[in-house]
Amino acid sequence: MIGAGADVRCMLIPMRSGRLLLPSTAVAEVIGYRTPDHRDDQPGWLQGTVSWHQRDIPVLDFERLIGRAELSAGIRQRIAVCYAIGGRATWPLIGLVAQGIPRLMRVSQQSIQVASGEQAGAKPIRMTLSIAGENLIVPDLEFLQGQLAAA
């Protein structure tokens, strides 16, 4: 919950259809897209791994994970490298495919028009928000880690 009068610095991550909203502290860096190393036995939403600062990180296509039809990739694709939540994460970093250049946004409690949420770790979407008439998705990083551990 956002305290009265407090703003949370967030990052808007464009997808093919819609946008993800993450606290900026959850995003380590946004890097140019590189083709991940793919394994044949991995689920379709897991694109593979890329090397980032001498670490392999898994790259997820969030839209495929939530069941949206696969659409073609844009020419401005990026990877948002996000920190894992919790100390027992299999992967300390997760890459989320972005379809453009993410941008910073300040979110205050007053700016949220509609919000609905789920229990943490239960579904890929932790919360949906409507801010300035735009519907935004807050991914559940804890759920994503569980999916990666099972993949």
Q: How confident is the model at residue 95 (pLDDT cuts 50, 70, 90)?
A: very high
Q: Which CATH code is given to the segment(s) 7-150? A: 2.40.50.180
- No. of H helices and E strands in the chain? 2, 11
* pLDDT score, position 10: 92
SS3 for 54?
A: coil
Domain boundaries along the sequence of the chain: 7-150
Q: How confident is the model over 4-61, as pLDDT tens digits?
A: 567 889 999 999 888 999 999 999 999 999 989 987 888 888 999 999 999 999 999 9
* pLDDT score, position 120: 65
Give φ, ψ of 147 to 5 degrees.
-65, -40
Give me the percent of the chain exceeding a pLDDT of 90. 34
- The length of the chain is 151
* pLDDT score, position 1: 45
Element (H, E) at 145: helix 141-150
Where are any strands of DSSP class E within 15-77? 19-23, 27-32, 46-52, 55-60
Q: How confident is the model over 120-131, as pLDDT tens digits?
A: 667 888 888 888
SS3 for 30?
A: strand
Average pLDDT in the chain: 84
pTM, full prediction: 0.83
Reference 85, options 126, 38, 128, 54; nearest CA is 126
How many angstroms separate the CA atoms of 12 and 23, rounded? Answer: 9
How many angstroms separate the CA atoms of 81 and 91, rounded? Answer: 12
Q: Tokens 């296509």 map to which residue?
A: 61
